[in-house]
Amino acid sequence: MSYVLVTLLLASLTSQIQASWTGIFGPVNQQPLVGSGRSRPNIVFILTDDQDLHMQSLDYMPFVKKHLVNHGTSFRKHFCTTALCCPSRVSLWTGKAAHNTNVTDVSPPYGGYPKFVSQGLNKKYLPVWLQGAGYNTYYTGKLFNAHSVDTYDSPFAAGWTGSDFLLDPFTYWYMNSTYQRNRDPPVSYEGQYSVDVLAGKALGFLDEAYEAGKPFFLGLAPVAPHSDIQSPNFKHGNHSNLTEVQFGPPVSAKRHAHLFEDAKVPRTANFNPDKPSGASWVRNLRKQGPDVIEYNDHFYVQRLRALQSVDELVDSVVRRLEELDILDNTYIIYSTDNGYHIGQHRLHPSKQCAFEEDINIPLIIRGPGVPEKFTTDIVTAHTDLAPTLLKIAGAPLRDDFDGLAIPLTQDGLDLAKDERHEHVTVEHWGFGANEGKILDWYPIFRLNNTYKAMRVIGKSYNLLYQVWCNNEHELYDLTTDPGQMVNLLHPDERSVETLLGLPLKKVVKRLDSLLFVLKTCRAETCIHPWRALHPGGNVESLKDALSPRFDAFYETEAQSIKFDRCEAGYIPEAEGAQFKQSVFEAELDPNWHEWT
């Protein structure tokens, strides 16, 4: 019994010591800016829709480079935790993984605005907390999917001082958008370009926020560069079954329609490869023919063109902040809900996979104390953004956050390189969409796109581990295989016996045990999952866990992930055994030390 008590004491002391360090990992190694009025920083958050990092979309945005990249910090290892619009946005604004929000799809019964409301989240997300901290809050653009002309007032989205939301079913109809302001009825902007409409509303809210004389948060969520979506039913304000909608390339403003005529999807090693890759339905995809590639290149060009209006939006917002003389006291955050693939791994245009193109996304932050022209490879995720924004506002953090505030000073960033966690949980449920050409062998939807995955990025390793609901496994070593072309766990691949200089099976055992914890983690366990496996607190990384002293534990005690069945949403009983921490089991184990 004494051994167990010592173990528990060590775990408790470790968590207390770590808690005392969290200030350095917050956005500032500064005291929270808790003054009144204009002394507190403003926050502008620009959230695009489906913007890629790996197809170089940022290279075509000169104003983003001028105002944000050159005056802020770029986070190159930033990830969404679910590569699908609504679940990702809910995780971003709540600081919780999708398995804890239970918003896992874009529409009911498993997702969308009605699910967000039914889960009680309309009173438990960022704008509500910011208002409680004395901030005025404003938002224009897309909030969530299924936030529609039928549901916008059932109830109204809480927490906004001023709002002007894009509403379904017109959200992705670039030339026929519908916005809904505050408590007013929806208004159609047919014939006007959606992003330009939003830009006018953004500047209006900036002026309104300035005149109010209080610190403010302004969220701007243009639809670009999401695909254009239409249906005959949309013309009458009616919704369509997902199988009836028509996906098309994004639409640009007319002034940008001539740009980038020679641009093509980057021909990386994983673009339309001769050899299949991945697992599950992805591995069965055929190689794309010339007509599909030509269409996909056009789709790519249209994405770049659509982003030009976003780039101009960034410029106009920064210039207005300068005119109001508040730019130096304003944090500007630029990101997207999820990434995008076009042609990689033979995939047609879409997202929803765990490949790097879909989950590794832009994050750029500028503001007081943030290093300029700086890039960092610390691991961050969308669940970290709500804690970060509350830290900026000087508001108290919640103890149920699944994420950790992102450091925003040079000292904090330097410390995080050695002290911050190295993992990101990635998860998805339901279908995988095809937003490009529909073919007999590539339909608009692929079922059973349910999986659990994680990225683990340390100084000597860079891994993706994934388990599908059909219990196929994937493992990629991105250090040697950045395009994720060689699934080390697929029987068709050449046998690999070692990874990281160790037996492959040993590494996989650790990874599987870690993902077993993360797939249902909550709060602190999501941030420090190794402590759940090793409550003594002396394991904080994969490197630590690979110590030979833990071999027996992982061989005999650790559990593995196994789905019982595939489901379209988060149904825990379909996902096999769940992790339950019980350090007192060590009391009965003569090898108790292997738990610590």
- pLDDT tens column, 33-58: 344 456 899 999 999 999 999 999 99
Q: Output the CA torsion sign for 545, 550, 554, 555.
A: positive
* Predicted pLDDT of residue 239: 59
Q: How does pLDDT run across 368-386, given as a tens digit for each residue?
A: 999 999 999 999 999 999 9
Confidence of residue 243 (pLDDT cuts 50, 70, 90): low
Q: Tell me, yes or no, if 566 is annotated catalytic.
A: no
Provide mean pLDDT across the span 555-583.
90
| CA 542/CA 397 separation, integer angstroms | 28
For residues 511 and 530, the answer to whether their CB atoms sit within 8 Å is: no
Confidence of residue 496 (pLDDT cuts 50, 70, 90): confident
* Predicted pLDDT of residue 589: 46
For residues 432 and 53, the answer to whether their CB atoms sit within 8 Å is: no
Provide mean pLDDT across the span 248-268.
98
- Mean pLDDT of the chain, nearest integer: 91
* Predicted pLDDT of residue 580: 85
Confidence of residue 483 (pLDDT cuts 50, 70, 90): very high
Q: How does pLDDT run across 387-409, given as a tens digit for each residue?
A: 999 999 999 999 999 999 999 99
Count of other CB atoms within 10 angstroms of residue 496: 12
Provide mean pLDDT across the span 483-488.
97
Distances from the Cα of 90 to the Cα of 104, 116, 136, 239, 409, angstroms: 9, 8, 20, 22, 27
* Predicted pLDDT of residue 24: 36
| CA 123/CA 114 separation, integer angstroms | 13
* Predicted pLDDT of residue 242: 61
CA angle, 123 then 124 then 125, to 5°: 110
Confidence of residue 237 (pLDDT cuts 50, 70, 90): low
Confidence of residue 30 (pLDDT cuts 50, 70, 90): very low
Q: How does pLDDT run across 260-300, given as a tens digit for each residue?
A: 999 999 999 999 999 999 999 999 999 999 999 999 999 99
Q: How does pLDDT run across 153-167, given as a tens digit for each residue?
A: 999 999 999 999 999
Provide mean pLDDT across the span 556-571.
95
For residues 243 and 192, the answer to whether their CB atoms sit within 8 Å is: no
User: 85, 469, 526, 566: which one is catalytic?
Assistant: 85
Provide mean pLDDT across the span 188-216.
98
The residue whose two tokens read 């990434």 is 339
For residues 199 and 182, the answer to whether their CB atoms sit within 8 Å is: no
**In the predicted structure, residue 586 carries a pLDDT above the cut 50:** no
Confidence of residue 562 (pLDDT cuts 50, 70, 90): very high
Which of helix, strand or coil describes residue 345? Answer: coil
Record the pTM.
0.92
* Predicted pLDDT of residue 540: 96
Distances from the Cα of 341 to the Cα of 435, 473, 485, angstroms: 10, 21, 14
423: nearest Cα among 593, 565, 541: 541
257: nearest Cα among 249, 267, 265, 268: 249
